[in-house]
Chain A
Amino acid sequence: MYRVGVDVGGTFTDFTLLDERQGTVLFHKSPSTADDPSAAIERGLDEIATRHGVDLGRIVHLGHGTTVATNLVIEGRGEPVGLITTRGFRDVLEIGRQTRPDLYDYRVRRPPPLARRAHRLEVTERMAADGTVLVPLDAVEVAAAARALAGFGLKSVAILFLHAYRNPAHERRARDIVAGIMEGAFITLSSDVLPEFREYERASTTALNAYVGPRMRAYLDRFVARVRGLGVKGEPYTIHSNGGLMSIATAGAVPVRTCLSGPAAGVVGAAAIAAAAGFPDVVTFDVGGTSTDVSLVKDGKPLFTGDRLVAGYPVRTPMIDVHVIGAGGGSIARIDDAGGLKVGPESAGAEPGPVAYGRGGRSVTLTDANLVLGRLNGVALLDGRMPVDRDAAARALDEQVARPLGITLERAAQGILAIAVSNIARAIRSVSTERGHDLAGFALFACGGAGPLHAAEVALEVGCPRILVPQAPGTLCARGILLSDLNFDFVRTLIATADPASWANVVQHFHDMRTEAEAWLGRERVPADRRRFRCFIEARYRGQNFEVPVELPAIAAEGLAGFLAAFAARHHQEYGYAIAGRAVEIVNGRIQAIGAVPKAPLEANHQGGPSLGAARVAERPVWFGESWHETEVYSRARLPVGEPIPGPAIVEEMSSTTWLPPGQAARVDGFGNIVIDLKESGAP
């Protein structure tokens, strides 16, 4: 039996196939197909079948990480949305929180609302904050609105009424009316997508769901048809933004939950690999061509957030907290008119790419600087598949940076690297201090093509004492999919002072959510012994406007005192103090339903090569500090387990290069990870 993880990237679609009987893992890459990503999946699976003799009929589990929804938003290719909302509030979607996107730069404008004003229609109805009906829903107006939206040719409708998180009756009634008039329309209710208070964030999330819904559903249908056509019988799943799996049916109904799923699986994979290797606290550091993804893993668990933007639109769904930094191998170095040397955020990307790629790139990039300094293979990358022109990189760097600054080529290249490292380090520090974490207790988990190349300098700059470079650092997302469980969050806004009178109500709500959660797990066909539940209460002190999530083992009738104690402890941990005697307000209740998926245990059975000498493939000069150093180059697959690797050293593998500076030492652990314990260097 096989378990397969598929991650669709911009350039490549990565596959990880686990043979459950043998316990072996196979990695495969196939070029992505932008028009229909499922075509690359079909072709890749077919290649795996023919090249490795895998019987696709024996695939019992297929997890699919998809950026289809994200790309629909970024590229503006979603389905135009019609909105039906409470009278007086159709502009909520456009006004947002009434902020402008950039404090200083008036060229930066808000993205256009997903439903234009003409397509946002108001109907008479009103709920109070406690869910009682103030004004009944006017069914005639709803029907008229539906006919108007149909007349505009719209096929996707979002319905948002004020306080529907408390009482969804009007939204549901409106859905039934609209469904009767607009046959086949994709209808999204705010009370289904996000039953939480704060109307703008709910409206934005609901509209995004409506915007990506129809096309995402069509894509998922194609995906399922293709894998079924190949004879795959197991249940296909998609990964969503919180790193969990969900069925195709769920994804088709709430596609907005996949909007930030791209890197989420990678973090799940990183957390599992790092924890197995004995590093429960890591910063994942994934450097690609144009950007760097950073996220924190604490106690073996990724950190979550509820607020992110997709192409400028707020999405409020539970998601792994991944920060994107505008720095990567393609970041352009330039001297500005006041004599400052800047690296990024402009990027040469993959096209035209760095000067050395010879695809028409004219501007010096970070990758060019790495080539000039000998850190990257000056002949070819990707196991020799991609030739590079180091001389062209050197000429451009000399012309654009070294000579204008009046310094040597090596110093200019070194300066570019140092500036890029300081940019990235600043962003990583900001991400960690925003959550109140001290990086001295974290290891840097370096992945992506260029993460391991800059990990040493970045770790020293941010104060991480250790580095972990996993095997095949370029395919982490596909591996993470095999380590994900099914999950789904159920939430209710409660808003009540935490006292004995309201607690009974809280308990009742959790009971109801648990019933809903069980029903969902049933629909996902999760057997009873694989069901898990995590309960959270989001609460705050009276007078605050932000909530702290408190995880509790269960919400029981006699649990109020325990909750208050847990809240105080959590507030202290998060913000450094608790306030004795101050009233606590419960804002949201949340249950995460989990369907545990059987996974291959991560075992320390990596073989490696016989000796360091046998792993040595070349020697080349690498510039470091003030001079060139003759540096051993090793092949990753042949490195022996446990033997110290002295720096300076370069470790090459297909999709990545690891740089080990002079004075530092690395070793390969039993899982095949490269581990570097940093000695504090005298770096300025």
Chain B
Amino acid sequence: MSDETAAIDAIAMEIFSNRLLSITEEMGNHLVRSSFSPNIKERRDCSVALFDARGRLVAQAAHIPIHLGSLLGAVEAVLKTYPIDTLRPGDAFVCNDAYLAGGTHLPDISIVTPVFAEGRVRFFTACLGHHADVGGAVPGSISPSAASIFEEGIRIPATRIATAGQLEEGILRLISENTREPEDRTLDLKVQIAVNESGARAVEALIRRMGIAGAERAVDDLLAYTTRRLQNRITRLRPGRYGFTSWMDDDGMGGPRVPIVAAVTVRGDRLHLDMTGTGPQSRGGFNVMPSGVLATVGYAVKALLDPGLLPNNGLFAAIDLTVPEGTILNPRFPGAVGARTTTCQKLAGAIFGAFQAILPESEAMASSHDVLAGMVFSGRAKRRQGTYVYLETVGGGIGARGDGDGMDGAHVHITNSLNMPVEAVENEYPLRVEEYALVPDSGGAGRYRGGLAIAREVRILEDGTTFSGRADSFVTRAEGAMGGLGGANCRVIRNHGTNRAEIMDPKQRLLQLAAGETIRMETPGAGGFGPPQDRAIAALARDLEDGKVSAARAAPDYGPDLLAAALGLKATRP
């Protein structure tokens, strides 16, 4: 290849990449605009992507990192189940299953649609929505204590849901009627099919414009470019093997702590991530499928080494993975997988931890809250017949970095969803929120302080209300880095501030509550970075004035001298 050709390709590749991203962004906009359920439409718990005919990810719109795993698995399952020369224009395929179709948990339903040019399949458009309920033992279909995947809702292997442009109404009804909200499922699945269709039209137009040879060449260039760019980051790292273990309190069903191990080997321009030593398969729903591990690794590597890296298959070409079977990160059939997010958070935390020794100090990060803290209330609906189910996910502390304090009260790693406004909750449900606040002293002390946790306290207004909690780190906690201290634990307090106050494990299943009782969840705080005695006096003074750190806690954490110096600073005035 002459230099001239190579260069022209650099320009063509960038333009092609923009055009591909334009198509995925349009698909994403279409999905968010047209979907019905708040989970997809307002919380944007959905993703879209383009794959080539070999099942390689070519482009993904920036939505939810974990979905990358399910989408990769879905296209692979379609290619394995249906010989590619049997596909026809207007076909569409549906799947969600973790064991049969590469999914990560059942509520994430994927639709995959082939794109044709010159009579052959050239690409696939794919999209995924987190559907609020897919049946199973509990509303919402996610239960940490599910004993097997059969309790988690309808299992869909790769299945043709449209044939040559004709919707398979029977398949659609079969799926929808196996969930608690058939009307919502039907509306959103139809939208997903339409999104892929219009995406396919746009890809066809792009191929017509640049020719199939040009398009395929640009795909190869784009993936190679992504790999080369990541390899350039890897070669600058210190070679060696670095391990980190993060811990889960238990496997969701009680019992001992579960280690999540990530050993990262940097060799030349490649990374090897080895999860050997990770604890055994969960007896409940905390298992992560290999596709979920892959997506979590992709997220972590991108976040740690090059946040601007395009999510495509080139990202994975420089990474090797070892994930032993029978562990919580690679369960055997029919292990339940619904509550996989907290495990993914712990895995991301372990990878971030291993990189503390790999990255320059300014970019290294102490552990974050590393759970997905969920509160689920259910009871009689306020303004209509039937029951309501209200799910709130609550953020926590983000780890301090070598260049500054951690963020207070935010989502971390693979989640970043919005809260439900207090005023919306109180208009909608027979509940009153009594407090929504940062938790003082919950961030680990350090030269840079770990981010503070969030407390959310809810009063029950009607008898017969139930509460279920999902989280972890009641026992374990976010570690500090380079001498920084750890963050506060996660806990639930029933009837906080009364003489019947009760501190509880955040994992709760269908706790029965009477009117007037309160449930308070305090999520975990994050770890600090560097020795506390290195903290700037002004920074500690500011934390004291802002009530983010108490003097009582600062004395042991930072030492009496630093505390006295900080109290002496009058930094309150703006």
Binding site for B on A (CB under 8 A): 80, 88-92, 94-95, 97-100, 102-107, 109-110, 116-119, 128-129, 152-154, 162-163, 165, 197-200, 335-342, 405-407, 411, 415, 418-419, 422-423, 425-426, 429-430, 433-434, 436, 495, 497, 541-546, 574-577, 579, 582-583, 684
Contacts and interface: CB of A to CB of B under 8 A. Distances in A.
A118 B383 CA distance: 39
24 contacts: A80-B574, A91-B437, A92-B422, A99-B411, A100-B410, A103-B416, A104-B307, A106-B401, A128-B432, A129-B426, A153-B573, A198-B421, A338-B229, A339-B225, A341-B11, A406-B6, A419-B11, A429-B22, A433-B26, A433-B29, A541-B36, A574-B33, A579-B183, A684-B214
A612 B18 CA distance: 39
A672 to B, nearest CB: 34
Interface string B209-248: 1100010000000000100110010000000000000000
B19 interface: yes
B437 A88 contact: yes
Interface of B: 2-4, 6-8, 10-15, 18-19, 21-22, 25-26, 29-30, 33-34, 36-38, 41-42, 62, 65, 183-184, 187, 191, 194, 209-210, 214, 225, 228-229, 232, 299, 302-303, 307, 365, 383-384, 394-395, 398, 401, 403-404, 407-412, 416-419, 421-424, 426-427, 432-438, 454, 457, 545-548, 572-574
Contacts of B187: 577, 579
Given A94-B438, A103-B65, A116-B546, 8 more contacts: A94-B408, A103-B416, A104-B307, A106-B303, A198-B423, A422-B18, A436-B33, A542-B384
Contacts of B25: 426, 429-430, 433
B391 to A, nearest CB: 13
A574 B36 CA distance: 12
B574 A543 contact: no
A426 B303 CA distance: 24
B33 A88 contact: no
Contacts of A583: 384
B424 A544 contact: no
A337 B229 contact: yes
A95 B436 contact: yes
B43 to A, nearest CB: 8
B424 A407 contact: no
A-B pairs, top 8 by smallest CB distance, nearest first, are A406-B3, A405-B7, A117-B546, A338-B229, A88-B435, A415-B11, A105-B307, A98-B395
Given A98-B411, A405-B10, A336 B229 contact: yes
B14 A117 contact: no
A199 B438 contact: no
A198 B421 CA distance: 5
Contacts of B15: 418-419, 422
Given A88-B457, A422-B19, A128 B419 contact: no
B546 A118 contact: yes
Contact of B14 (A97, A162, A340): A340
Contact of A98 (B14, B384, B454): B454
A405 B14 CA distance: 14
A338 B232 contact: yes
B546 A110 contact: no
A102 B33 contact: no
Contact of B232 (A129, A199, A337): A337
Contact of A419 (B14, B417, B546, B573): B14
A575 B34 CA distance: 5
A500 to B, nearest CB: 16
Contacts of A419: 11, 14-15, 18
Contacts of A542: 384
A407 B10 CA distance: 11
A438 B436 CA distance: 43
A288 B248 CA distance: 53
Given A91-B409, A98-B395, A341 B10 contact: yes
Contacts of A405: 3, 6-7, 10
Contacts of A107: 403
Contact of A91 (B394, B398, B438): B438
B33 A91 contact: no
